Amino acid sequence: MNNRKKIIAKYKDKFSEVKLWSKLRNYAKAAGTKTVYSALLLYYAYKRSDTPAWAKRIVLGTLGYFIAPIDVLPDLTPLIGYTDDIGILSLGLVTIAAYVNDEVKGNARKHLNKWFGDDLNEDDLKEVDEQL
């Protein structure tokens, strides 16, 4: 098991929907469009009934890492602090990409529009979508 997979396994018990929504609401602008979009894609893929248990465990670990207050690079600065988060989110997202459909993307985009409004960067969304 590589280092990132160990991190994901370690943090799956840290996931809570309340903590996820709180972190996203409070830090959306600081974390940036790619980070928030990736987290939302994972969350909505997790909520799908046809997402298998193994993929849901990956989502739990990935989002658990994202919401944990202490991680490899603390989320104190907007540019550097979320670098490790986007790496872990990307890994989790690519791993479960088969369960990210148009409905998942639509739900994620609705929330992004609420939080970012006119500041929403479509190029960032496209970059994340191209990884899938």
The whole-number average pLDDT for the span 101-128 is 92
Cα-atom radius of gyration of the chain, to the nearest Å?
13
The Cα-based distances of 28 to 10, 49, 83 in angstroms read 24, 27, 14
Mean pLDDT of 114-132: 90
Count CB-CB contacts under 10 A for residue 68. Answer: 17
Q: Considering the chain, what is the average pLDDT of its residues?
A: 84
Residue with tokens 């790619």: 34
pTM equals 0.83
Decide: 90 and 39 in contact? Cβ < 8 Å.
no
- Per-residue pLDDT, 87: 84
Look at residue 119 and give its three-state secondary structure: helix
Q: What is the pLDDT of residue 109?
A: 95
Confidence of residue 49 (pLDDT cuts 50, 70, 90): very high
**Helix 17-31 and helix 102-116: axis angle, to 10°?**
60
Residue 5 reports pLDDT greater than 90: no
3-state secondary structure 51-91: CCHHHHHHHHHHHHHHHCCCCCCCCCCCCCCCHHHHHHHHH
pLDDT in tens, 7-43: 667 777 778 888 888 888 888 887 888 999 999 999 9
